[in-house]
Structure 1
Amino acid sequence: MKVPPLATLFDDLVARGTRTVVHLDRPFDLAPLHGTRHDLPALAALVRRTAGALHTAGVAEGDVVAVVKANHWDYVLLAAAIARLGAVPALLSDHLPPESLEVLLTRLAPAALVTTRAVLAAGDRRGVDLTGLVGCAIGIDGEHAGAVALAALRGDPPPLPVPRDPDAPLVVNHTSGTTGVPKLVVHTTRTLLAGIADAEATRLPVVTARPADVVCSAIAYAHGRAVPWTAAVLTRGPRELVVIADPDSAEPALRAHPPTTLEALPATYVRWHHLTGPGGPFAGVRLFVNTFDAVHPPTVRAFLAASARRYPVWLQVWGQTETGPITFRLLTRRAVARPARRHPTTRDLGRPAPGRTRLRVVDPRTLSDLPPGTPGLLLVRTPGTCVGYLGEQDRWHAKWTGGWWNTGDLGVRTPLGTVRLLDREVDLIPGLSSVELEDVLEDRIPRARECVVLGTPGSPPTPVVVTDDGTLDPRAWVRAQHDLPALADPVVLTWDQVPRTGTGKVRRHELRRALHHGDATFGTGQWT
């Protein structure tokens, strides 16, 4: 089933008779007085009104419009409103520091910036005038020095939707930025909707949303997953959609609208571990989904156990902002049963999507193919691959080789044809896999909320163990690492002491600099 165009997504869904009801954990920043329950006609009207306001502000066909605000699904509504005008939305997380926003806005040269007073004030405190980098600044939540209030622009009827070429830029998203200033990823209708969303909207057993489903999402809505996910899931027309913007205050919404399918950031699953006990809000979940980052066996095990369904499953997806999903694997309770020995349970990423994605494992130096069982760089070919890095096209070309995309990840193809992830190339540890070590340590240290293993030339790998109170019983550590390769003494931190991106990913380079007073790695970082 084909998804509608972004510009008219909600109008077209209404015309098709889709009756999905949307529940929010808090009101939209875009419409703070409109409550937490919305039907699709109301959402379509909100998109049209917003498009009219942006048109009044002078946004025109071909313009770039940057959006920087607190995490919420209204990023997608704003993207649809901007696309309706024939302009290109560039969705940026407000978790980015003002200095990074300054770089990205300079590359974008947007005709308009839609933002909040908090974002502009944060820039002012750091000496970064974000309003001076854009044609006009529009405050969602009111006026600010140099910014006009969005409410003051409303009232004019929206213009008719402007059709766009399928190969013209549609949306710009940024990468996670774990290694520095994020890259600006350019997607088109052909790559983002036809290449990614259409495939996800195809009816498949188990993983596709059903008419009776209550579909819940708790992701970072500024990132590349949000638009294709929205288009695909609403095209399938589930009964209800539950949107979580603030994971730390989500419990009331989860209990009021218990989900049957749940997609969340790996970091959010970790933060929700306390909700996996008997009588929790996940008892009715038949399908859990994770994207964005690696997930470790204890997390998968806890959530599958929290479901009262007879056979709940976990869909593990590996992909990138640049490509969309690449491989899929369904995990069951049996698959993540506590192992009797070391094995990379969630490092086996499954197989490439049949009929749409191809994968090669190549030598990092020669890019020649390697046989099964030999570690190398992972290259992929998929119709969802982005068309460029805005302002850094040479960097994009360095990762695009004869129609194959260099993921920058290291892995191995097993004799059964599945893909086993080893590390990001920039984070590699010779002879080891940091992500496998992290799996094992998290399995063996029940109090650990997260484990991170950092490789630094000239010293043993450094394990960072994250606990609720920043302490770790030395005896627990001795038991956990007794048969592992030589590691440095663990660094024990709390969750908030670890530098993270807006999706909860650990900023490994920043953490390495803090611990080792430098950022030297074994990897080249050539394909980051």
Structure 2
Amino acid sequence: MKTLDNPGRLFDVLAQRNSPTTLCLSRPLDIAPDSGTAYSVRQLAELTEQAAGWLAAAGAGPGERVAVVKPNHWDFVLLTLAAARLGAVAAPISAHLAPDTVATMLKRLEPAVLVTTADVVRSGAEAGVDLTSFARRTVSIDRPTPGAVPLADLRGHPAPPPAKRDDDQPLVIIHTSGTTGVPKLVPHSTTTIIRRLAGFEAHRWPVLASRPEDSVASAISFAHGRALAWTASVFWLAPREVTAVCDPTPERAEAFLRAHPPTILETLPSTYVRWQSLASTPDSVFSRVRLYISTFDAMHPPTVRAFLAATRRKRPVWLQGWGQSETGPLTFRFLTRAAMARQGQRHPTTRDVGWPVPTRTRLRAIDPVTFRPVPRGTPGLIMARTKGLGLGYVGEEERWWAKSRGTSWWNTGDIGVITRSGGLRLVDREVDTIPESSCLEMEDVIDDRLPWVLECIVLGAPGRSPLPVIVTANGTADMDAAAWRSAVADLPPLAEPIVMAWEELPRTATGKVRRHQLRELLLDGAGHHGTGQWT
């Protein structure tokens, strides 16, 4: 990818190489609703250039910020590339966030242009927030909206020539999941997110790299920085087909995946859980998958086991990656059917998230009080040194400094154990930690032992037993009290479980449970065992 002087020209370069890849979408792009659901690389190059013309007509120029707030779809990435072509910096923001949260983020960004939808503006107005007031100009990509220019008025505006970009200047501003509050805004440069993160994945590594005959599918939050790195690396390897699933609802996703059966699949941990019922059918849409990829969070063992069993491949592989928005991937591990064969064990395997990315990442564990290194095998605060570290937090510079302290080591805010072999076993987020135990491990054990549990969240608070929150398909109707008592008999003492349905849990755009919000709902504002100072 060294030949890519401006990431906004990604599809131009690939078109010049006569890339055969076709992009297939689960629904038309929000910015091109009448253009169908299939695109060649050359058509993507043309659409990127057209979108750059729209943004230029709206007033975006070199060095200026373009905020994009809209429903989930792959055109987040295309608009990011269009902004990069102009020398501008896109900030994709999920419309899943609450209006007051979006307002806080826009205030920090101070964008020249806001690209959004009528529904987003209306939701803001209903919450007492004028989202259009945070940008010099607002563009509505669908319906007429007060205070916004219709996208139709900008179509046809010619794009200026691609701008020259400094590889170390901001290319995109991505936001974190926001599990502990307002998402942080992290600028990444061409060097960090394209050269080092996407560039690493664009090599033809054994097992990992796509092949010419592959159909590579993604069903993630396309507002996340992972979507840009994924797009660049996957298209660079030129598989036969790339598919983007923007709606993870099982019945809708199944119809699309059946029409475009993937051989490589990447999605969110929460989406894998929602799709687990699809994996159990005899004619599963995952029957051709040779490689599953999960990032964002560690997986529960039964889910990994179910998907590895769903494919007809003899030796399918699950790649589990662990990292953060600020750093990109830090560790990875391969899981196989053999590795997942043991069921119901007291110490499940999926919290062992693998080893640092070779030549690119180093990890160490320190005492969270003294900041001194702890021996291998001892839980500590995990520090990372990586070439993919972002450039800071927009509007929260002191918060960034508190996590890096002016050194080359990044404080992940996770408690973990560096094993004797140099791998990492996650224990808990520091803010969620409980003494002498692990919420994450108990969640895995419960999920592995009780098939009717879709998800388990354990919340700790000083002066009380950890509270398990059990998610089932139908709420309390699925609760088996006797099975529950048997499953937790060898675990530390727990409070009586609270049973909820999937839809009741507060979640981020990437499907993570908002534990702080759940705590406020169920624990009456009880405090944490951890300090929470590195969230």
Pairwise same-fold verdict (TM > 0.5): yes
Query: Equivalent residue for 1:383?
Result: 387
Q: How does 1:303-342 map to 2 (within 5 A)?
A: 303-339=307-343, 341-342=345-346
Indicate conservation of the 8 Å contact 1:372/1:412, yes or no: yes
1:230 and 2:237 are equivalent in the alignment? no
Asked whether the 8 Å contact 1:411–1:420 carries over to 2, the reply is: yes
Aligned equivalents of 1:247 and 1:2: distance in 2?
A: 34
Name the counterpart of 2:506.
499
Write the distance in 2 (CA, Å) between the matches of 1:450 and 1:295. Answer: 10
Q: Hey, what does 2:259 align to over in structure 1? A: 256
Do structure 1's residue 416 and structure 2's residue 421 form an aligned pair? yes
Amino acid at match of 1:252: A
Q: C-alpha offsets along residues 208-250 of structure 1, whole Å, 9 cap, x if unaligned? A: 1111110000000001101111101111111100110001121
Q: Within 2, Cα distance between the matches of 1:517 and 1:388? A: 34
Task: Quote the offset at 1:3 in angstroms.
Answer: 7.0
Name the CA distance, whole Å, in 1 between partners of 2:283 and 2:339. 24
Instruction: Give how far 1:201 is off.
Output: 0.8
**Deviation string for 1:364-423 (max 9, x for gaps)?**
122221111110011111110001000001111111142011100110011222110000
- Alpha-carbon offset, residue 163 of structure 1: 1.1
Deviation string for 1:259-284 (max 9, x for gaps)? 00000000110111111121111000
Partner of 1:478: 485
2:518 match: secondary structure: helix
Q: Equivalent residue of 1:339, what SS?
A: coil
Q: 1:331-361 CA deviation, whole Å, 9 max, x = no partner?
A: 0011111336311310001100111111111
Alpha-carbon displacement from aligned partner over 1:271-319 (angstroms, at most 9, x marks no partner): 1111112111100000000011121001000000001000001000001
Matched residue SS, 2:353: coil
- Once residues 349 and 449 of structure 2 are traced to their aligned partners in structure 1, the CA distance between those partners, rounded to angstroms, is 14
Q: Partner residue of 1:360?
A: 364
**Structure 2 residue 403 is matched with structure 1 residue 396:** no
Q: Mind listing any 5+ residue stretches in structure 1 that lack a counterpart? A: none
Which shifted more, 108-117 or 475-484? 475-484
Q: 1:288, 1:313 within 8 Å by CA — same for their partners in 2? A: yes
1:479 Cα deviation (Å)?
1.4
Residue 268 of structure 1 aligns with an amino acid whose one-letter code is T
Change beyond 3 A, Cα 1:35–1:355:
same
User: 1:57 Cα deviation (Å)?
Assistant: 1.4
Q: Deviations over 1:30-60 (max 9, x none)?
A: 1111111111111111111111111111111
- CA drift of 1:495 comes to 0.4
* 1:285/1:307 contact within 8 Å kept: yes
Deviation at 1:142, TM superposition (A): 2.7
Length, aligned pairs only: 528
* 1:270 and 2:270 are equivalent in the alignment: no
Unaligned runs of 5+ in 2: none
**3-state SS of paired residue (2:401):** helix
Question: Is 1:113 matched up with 2:123?
Answer: no
State the secondary structure of the residue aligned to 1:492. strand
**In structure 1, C-alpha distance between the alignment counterparts of 2:17 and 2:402, rounded to whole Å:** 43
Counterpart among 442, 448, 454 of residue 449 in structure 1: 454
- Does 2:426 align with 1:425? no
Where 2:464 maps in the other structure, the secondary structure is: coil
Whether 1:95 aligns to 2:96 is yes
Deviation at 1:99, TM superposition (A): 0.5
In structure 2, C-alpha distance between the alignment counterparts of 1:475 and 1:389, rounded to whole Å: 48
Name the CA distance, whole Å, in 1 between partners of 2:480 and 2:28: 43
Contact 1:142 1:148 in 2 (8 A): no
Give the structure 2 partner of residue 522 of structure 1: 529
Deviations 1:421-466 (A, max 9, x none): 0000011011111110000000111101100000011110000000
Conserved? CA contact 1:166–1:190, under 8 Å: yes
Counterpart of 1:157?
A: 158
Q: Supply the distance in 1 between the matched residues of 2:17 and 2:534 (Cα, whole angstroms).
A: 43
Partner of 2:29: 28
TM-score of the superposition, structure 1-length normalised? 0.99
The one-letter code sitting in structure 1 at the alignment partner of 2:299 is: V
* Corresponding position of 2:355: 351
* 1:251 CA drift (Å): 1.1
Query: SS of the counterpart of 2:333?
Result: strand
The one-letter code matched in structure 1 to 2:442 is L
List per-residue Cα deviations over 1:66-85 (Å, max 9, x = no partner): 00000011000000111111
> In structure 1, what is the equivalent of residue 201 of structure 2?
200
| 1:216–1:262 contact (8 Å) kept in structure 2 | yes
Structure-2 separation of matches of 1:184 and 1:390: 5
Preserved CA contact (<8 Å) 1:53 1:156: yes
Q: CA deviation at 1:473?
A: 1.4
Give the 3-state SS of the residue equivalent to 1:196 in structure 2.
helix
Q: Is the 8 A contact 1:186 1:387 kept in 2?
A: yes
Distance 1:385 1:115 in 2: 29
Return 318-327 or 186-195, whichever deviates more: 186-195
Distance in 1, matches of 2:514 and 2:3, equals 35
Could you tell me which residue of structure 1 aligns to residue 303 of structure 2? 299
Give the equivalent residue in structure 2 for 1:373: 377
Judge conservation of contact 1:3–1:235 (CA < 8 Å) in 2. Answer: no
1:508 and 2:515 aligned: yes
Answer whether contact 1:11 1:44 (CA < 8 A) is retained. yes
User: Residue 436 in 1 paired to residue 436 in 2?
Assistant: no
- 3-state SS, counterpart of residue 388 of structure 1: coil
Instruction: Say yes or no: does 1:220 pair with 2:221.
Output: yes
CA distance in 2, matches of 1:6, 1:366: 43
Q: Which moved more, 1:470-479 or 1:178-187?
A: 470-479
What whole-Å deviation, never above 9, does each CA across 1:477-523 have from its counterpart, x for those lacking one? Answer: 11111111100000000001100001110000000110011051111
* Letter aligned with residue 171 of structure 2: L
Counterpart contact for 1:2–1:201, Cα < 8 Å: no
**More divergent stretch after superposition (394-403 vs 165-174):** 394-403
Structure 2 Cα separation of the partners of residues 252 and 3 of structure 1: 38
Aligned partners of 2:384, 2:503: CA distance in 1, in Å?
A: 35
Q: Which amino acid aligns with 2:369?
A: R
Moved more, 139-148 or 334-343: 334-343
Secondary structure of the corresponding residue to residue 24 of structure 2: strand
